[in-house]
Structure 1
Amino acid sequence: MATATNITWHESEVTKAKRREAKGHKSAILWFTGLSGSGKSTISVALETALYTKGIHTYRLDGDNVRFGLNKNLGFSPEDRTENIRRIGEVAKLMVDAGLFTLTAFISPYLEDRAQVRELVEADEFIEIYVKARLETCEQRDPKGLYKKARLGEIKGFTGIDAPYEEPCNPDILIDADVLSIEEAVEVILHYLQAQKYF
């Protein structure tokens, strides 16, 4: 991939601090990670609604949605997965600078890729939310029918079946999706954000 040259970063007179002050809350990346079918997207949708009702400015980036546009040229090889997460990290960083809570729901199976996104922003601007569910639970749910196709060999390199998922070592928030309801998961996240004074 070619690297751009002869470019200069232009600072804005409207800073991140000023944007946050205008909105009345901090901004951060809420990075949902977990197996397909664990409930990442469902929880992120419910959380965004809950934050909206509190007057919190948000934007949600979903794994499938992003592949319709920004990342439509990427497949699911390890290299493409890494590039997918790199691009999302850069977009999320811009949204944090804009003063938004950016909710991202991606399998993002590799520890290194998630760590690189964390390094893009300040220490308190990346909140890793591990939506943990047993593979059996995800296969039972299988909302898109992907596990069935993977088991039949119709999909190759499927995370959890014939491609690895590297669990977070120390996530900021752990959601046990085998136990908690969607509403309970949202409450856990809201409690964390309020306790850490994000709003």
Structure 2
Amino acid sequence: MEEKNIVWHDTNITKNDRNSLLNQKPCVLWFTGLSGSGKSTIANAVERKLFNKSRKTYLLDGDNVRHGLNKDLGFLESDRIENIRRIGEVSKLFVDAGLIVLTAFISPFKSDRQIAKSLVGYDEFIEIFIDTPLEICEERDSKGFYKKARSGAIKNFTGIDSPYEKPENPQIHIKTAKNTVEECVDIIINHLIKFGYIEENNDYSI
């Protein structure tokens, strides 16, 4: 089917309707950082706090998405770009549905993160840089990926033989070497409160 024959279909229920029903300001919490930096751990903890206070959320995790939506993609640069493009589009749909969507992906290239950001409103994309030194990520190496990458068993591994382009101006900069998981979560929750994504007069205890 040619693109010129595809027409956008407007629905009766609007984005503003869903936002009002859910009583929250939807956004994408885009966690980026090296493998082993703590993206998934922190994203899970943030979602738990939000869920406990009846916030409507959904977490997209890099490994989980590759079991389904992106199972056809490998780890060549072109595949990794397409991986992030698809996640950006899915995140856009979740935001349109009124949810706070959390994405935990290495997403190593600035240009790809910029594309994901461009898909939603300027205030609907919150880039969260999980800044953990490579040596600490390698020490953790819970999945054994770094060891395999160092031995040559895994090619195009971010931080070893494929670059990671650090965010220049992330809305939230988390340094896990200096903060506990709980402290990292509090930094993110406080940002959401400060900028009106969630209400301040709630107990966000885990």
Displacement of 1:13 = 1.3
Displacement of 1:5 = 4.8
Displacement of 1:179 = 1.1
Describe how 1:152-191 pairs up with structure 2 within 5 A: 152-191=151-190
Does residue 197 (structure 1) correspond to residue 196 (structure 2)? The answer is yes
Letter in 2 for 1:46: A
Displacement of 1:60 = 0.4
Q: Within 1, Cα distance between the matches of 2:74 and 2:33?
A: 19
Any idea what the Cα deviations from partners look like across 1:75-134, whole Å, max 9, x if unmatched?
111111100000000000000000000000000000000001100011000000000000
Let me know the Cα RMSD of the aligned residues: 1.0
Structure 2 equivalent of residue 28 of structure 1? 27
TM-score, with normalisation over the residues of structure 1?
0.97
Displacement of 1:8 = 1.2
Letter in 2 for 1:121: V
SS at match of 2:11: coil
Structure 2 equivalent of residue 104 of structure 1? 103
Letter in 2 for 1:39: G
Q: Within 2, Cα distance between the matches of 1:111 and 1:134?
A: 18
Structure 2 equivalent of residue 147 of structure 1? 146
Q: Within 1, Cα distance between the matches of 2:2 and 2:63?
A: 27
Q: Within 2, Cα distance between the matches of 1:3 and 1:102?
A: 32
State how many pairs are aligned.
198
SS at match of 1:11: coil
Q: Within 2, Cα distance between the matches of 1:122 and 1:154?
A: 41
Displacement of 1:48 = 0.5
Any idea what the Cα deviations from partners look like across 1:6-55, whole Å, max 9, x if unmatched?
21111111111111110111100000000000000000011100000111
Q: Within 2, Cα distance between the matches of 1:185 and 1:17?
A: 31
Letter in 1 for 2:126: I
Letter in 1 for 2:63: D
- Structure 1: 5+ residue runs without aligned partners? none
Judged with a 3 Å threshold, the aligned counterparts in structure 2 of structure 1 residues 86 and 178 are, in CA distance, closer, same or farther, namely same
Structure 2 equivalent of residue 92 of structure 1? 91
Describe how 1:69-148 pairs up with structure 2 within 5 A: 69-148=68-147
Q: Within 2, Cα distance between the matches of 1:93 and 1:3?
A: 23
Judged with a 3 Å threshold, the aligned counterparts in structure 2 of structure 1 residues 14 and 159 are, in CA distance, closer, same or farther, namely same
Judged with a 3 Å threshold, the aligned counterparts in structure 2 of structure 1 residues 144 and 5 are, in CA distance, closer, same or farther, namely farther
Judged with a 3 Å threshold, the aligned counterparts in structure 2 of structure 1 residues 77 and 3 are, in CA distance, closer, same or farther, namely farther
Q: Within 1, Cα distance between the matches of 2:45 and 2:30?
A: 15
Q: Within 2, Cα distance between the matches of 1:39 and 1:4?
A: 40
Structure 2 equivalent of residue 7 of structure 1? 6
